[in-house]
Amino acid sequence: MPCRRSARVLALALSLAVASAAGAASREFPSEHGTLRVTTVAEGLEHPWGLAFLPDGRMLVTERPGRLRIVDRDGRVSAPLTGLPRVRARGQGGLLDVVLHPRFTENRLVYFSFSEPGSGGSSTAVARGRLEGMGLQGVEVVFRQSPKVDTAFHYGSRLVFDREGKLFVGTGDRGMQDTAQDLSLGQGKLFRLHDDGRPAPGLPFADRPGTHPGLFSYGHRNLQGMALHPQTGLLWTHEHGPRGGDEINVARPGRNYGWPVITFGINYTGTTIGEGLTAKDGMEQPLYQWTPSIGVSGMAFYSAARFPAWQGDLFVGGLALTRLERLELDGERVTHREVLLDDWNQRIRDVRQGPDGALYVLTDARNGQLARIELLPR
């Protein structure tokens, strides 16, 4: 067994080295505003999930089996960083999102979400540690969804710091639909926390006994995209529907986003969910929804000056329908939708705007890629 394990580790290291040394391969695709150039920055990543940019231009990338790596600007992929806790890499669980503390240059704190094993199964958790060299030091868990359950689905798990330095944590219903409506449970909820994990001030359910700490909103199925609007500073989210009903919402405190009481989707078996309602008093309607589902994952507003034609647009990745979508907005209304990279045939897991003004995406595969997307001048 030790020999086989060593061989697997060596093979993975060699594949990463070969991928980095192979150079940056590019492909071009048409779009409404000109030609898109998609350049492979790094490949050989095993189901990469989350991406964060370090101040020096390097990138942190999570791999779902439980590894955190640094990708240099030239595409070289590091060995796994040390110091991470044990994750339950089963089904949709594993090492998930990663973000930097707003004062990272001072405190070197990196936050990451993961499926934490424990009594009863696993749950979404968030930990933080100081990035020192090739490892994380002083790692501590600052948030735990509870209770832990023995399913392998719907961990949600995007992380976003808002303009006040508070941390939003999105979770999923873990495949247990009705939990999303129970305020005492951590499934299917959005949380807002201090950077040390304490509930943020002024939360809508803070005075209600038995409420899961830090609760901001509820009735969510599986939150896998979150981004701050560049003008308003409001948090926008998206979540998976079942067969149909992927949603974009604007997160507002105390709101009920309806799952599973209302949805535009149906069960994978073709049957209706609950009473088959798409609207109900006291529950929010989505800002935008996809039916059929595209399998939304990753989301980024474009706010850079590099590509003026994209200013203010929202980019969303697709897993089920392998694509990137560009949405034009008028306030909180989608006015136009463009399907991009439909011929690339890659499951897009994460979407980020880079410090260079390009878009960056992670592809969800055993040989996953980190790719840069640029809009070429006409």
Question: Which residues is 95 bridged to in the sheet?
Answer: 114
**Token pair in block for residue 273:** 């969910």
- Is there a catalytic annotation at residue 238? no
Of 66, 88, 61, which Cα lies nearest the Cα of 77? 61
Of 141, 133, 208, which Cα lies nearest the Cα of 169? 141
Question: For residue 55, which phi and psi values (nearest 5 degrees)?
Answer: -60, -25
9-33: b or e for each residue (b if 16 or more CB lie within 10 Å)?
Answer: eeeeeebbeebbeeeeeeeeeebeb
Catalytic residue (choose from 33, 47, 101, 154): 154
**Torsion of Cα atoms, 189 then 117 then 127 then 371, to 10°:** -80
DSSP codes joined into one string, 209-225: TTPPTTEEEE--SBEEE
Distance (Å) of CA 159 to CA 17, 96, 194, 345, 358: 30, 10, 13, 27, 21
Catalytic machinery residues: 154
